[in-house]
């Protein structure tokens, strides 16, 4: 029997033997290391030591976490642009509004509800976004109610109130984009990894689970055992139809 920490990077799942893991902590602001390896994000203090932090996304040649967040925010902004345009059409024509008025049911609302911020600055931005986003949906409902009684007043509410709240909501999202490094750190995790080389941290997207499995359940990875000079696979594990790459060793990039 072996115990594994399962973590995710993008859509991919990986696992590390728990024996090599000291702790899992929240990602934090790092100190840059001049002329360091491209896989190294920086260094940090850990239990009176200074350790390096290796970015797992860079290790497997994936897009940066921040670039994916930027794409996500652009999609969320477009979703609410479409929402506002659909509301305008409903007010102007009386056509049924098919978008959601529930601030928790739209794409942005679902993302907000799933997001946990640990940085005080990010929490402040998030609270502003939550307030404006909730107000946008509630005011949209009020505009639709007014449209049934007085189309002209409803159109005025849309042009003044909805447009104003929408601009503030998008402004809060733009602030997230401007603070991508801080937001990314609020979401990602650091695995404090200990091997023969010493202690270093591995930055990953999220911790998924602790798996207790028989070693015989790890299937051979074929020719992909050595993904690169710094990452060696032990094999592949099938957990309820989800394939997990089981890592044998991670080597710190010098």
CB 86 within 8 A of CB 96: no
- Domain end point (choices 162, 183, 204): 183
List the domain range (segments joined by +) for residue 203.
Answer: 2-62+188-250
Predicted local confidence at residue 226, as pLDDT? 56
**179 plus 227 within the same structural domain:** no
CATH code for position 11: 2.40.50.180
Q: Are residues 83 and 167 in the same domain?
A: yes
165-181 pLDDT, tens digit per residue, is: 999 999 999 988 888 88
> Residue 29: its pLDDT value, please?
80
Same domain, 58 and 69: no
Instruction: Indicate whether 53 and 73 sit together in one domain.
Output: no
Beta bridge partners of 16: 5, 247
Lowest mean pLDDT among 102-111, 177-186, 208-217: 177-186
Asked if 24 and 129 sit in the same domain, the reply is no
Q: Of 134, 163, 183, which residue constitutes the final position of a domain? A: 183
Residue ending a domain, choose from 183, 204, 228: 183
Sheet hosting strand 21-26, strand order edge to edge:
21-26, 189-195, 198-204, 49-55, 40-46
Least confident of 45-49, 92-96, 110-114, 226-230: 226-230
The answer to whether residue 249 scores a pLDDT higher than 80 is yes
Asked whether residue 76 falls in the same domain as residue 159, the answer is yes
Each residue's pLDDT tens digit, 91-121: 999 999 999 999 999 999 999 998 877 778 8
Question: Which of the four pLDDT bands, split at 50, 70 and 90, describes residue 225?
Answer: low
- Looking at the fold, whether 228 and 132 belong to one and the same domain comes out as no
Q: Are residues 176 and 127 in the same domain?
A: yes
Are 191 and 16 contacting, i.e. CB atoms less than 8 angstroms apart?
A: yes
Compute the average pLDDT of residues 197-203: 91
Q: Please indicate, yes or no, whether residues 94 and 198 belong to a single structural domain of this protein.
A: no
**Helix 120-149 / helix 163-178 crossing angle, nearest 10 deg:** 160
Note the pLDDT of residue 22: 94
| Structural domains of the chain, count | 2
Q: Is the separation of the CB atoms in 78 and 97 below 8 Å? A: no
Same-domain check for residues 69 and 161: yes
Domain with 71 in it: what CATH number? 1.20.120.30
Instruction: Tell me: do 79 and 176 sit in the same domain.
Output: yes
Do 43 and 72 sit in the same domain of this protein? Answer: no
For range 188-201, the mean pLDDT = 90
Three-class SS string for the chain? CEEEEEEEECCEEEEEEHHHEEEEEECCCCECCCCCCCCEEEEEEECCEEEEEEEHHHHCCCCCHHHHHHHHHHHHHHHHHHHHHHHHHHHHHCCCCCCCCCCCCCHHHHHHHHCCCCCHHHHHHHHHHHHHHHHHHHHHHHHHHHHHHCHHHHHHHHHHHHHHHHHHHHHHHHHHHHCHHHHHHHHCEEEEEEECCEEEEEEECEEEEEEEECHHHEECCHHHCEEECCEEEEEEEEECCEEEEEEEEECCCC
């Amino acid at each position: 029997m072996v115990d594994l920490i399962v973590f995710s990077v993008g859509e991919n799942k990986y696992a590390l033997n728990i024996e090599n893991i000291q702790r899992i902590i929240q990602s934090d602001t790092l100190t840059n290391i001049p002329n360091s390896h491209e896989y190294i994000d920086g260094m940090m203090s850990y239990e009176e030591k200074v350790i390096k932090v290796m970015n797992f996304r860079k290790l497997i040649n994936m897009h940066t976490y921040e670039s994916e967040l930027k794409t996500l925010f652009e999609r969320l902004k477009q979703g609410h642009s479409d929402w506002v345009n659909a509301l305008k059409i409903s007010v102007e024509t009386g056509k049924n509004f098919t978008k959601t008025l529930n601030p928790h049911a739209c794409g942005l609302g679902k993302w907000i509800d799933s997001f946990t911020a640990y940085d005080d600055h990010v929490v402040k931005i998030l609270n502003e976004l939550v307030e404006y986003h909730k107000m946008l949906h509630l005011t949209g409902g009020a505009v639709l109610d007014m449209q049934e009684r007085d189309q002209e007043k409803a159109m005025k509410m849309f042009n003044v109130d909805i447009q104003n709240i929408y601009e503030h909501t998008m402004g809060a999202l733009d602030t997230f984009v401007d603070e991508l490094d801080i937001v990314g750190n609020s979401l990602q995790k650091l695995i404090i990894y200990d091997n023969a080389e010493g202690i270093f941290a591995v930055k990953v997207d999220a911790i998924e689970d602790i798996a207790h499995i028989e070693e015989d359940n790890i299937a051979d990875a074929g020719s992909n055992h050595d993904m690169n000079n710094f990452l060696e696979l032990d094999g592949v594990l099938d957990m309820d139809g989800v394939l997990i790459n089981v890592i044998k060793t991670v080597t710190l990039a010098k």
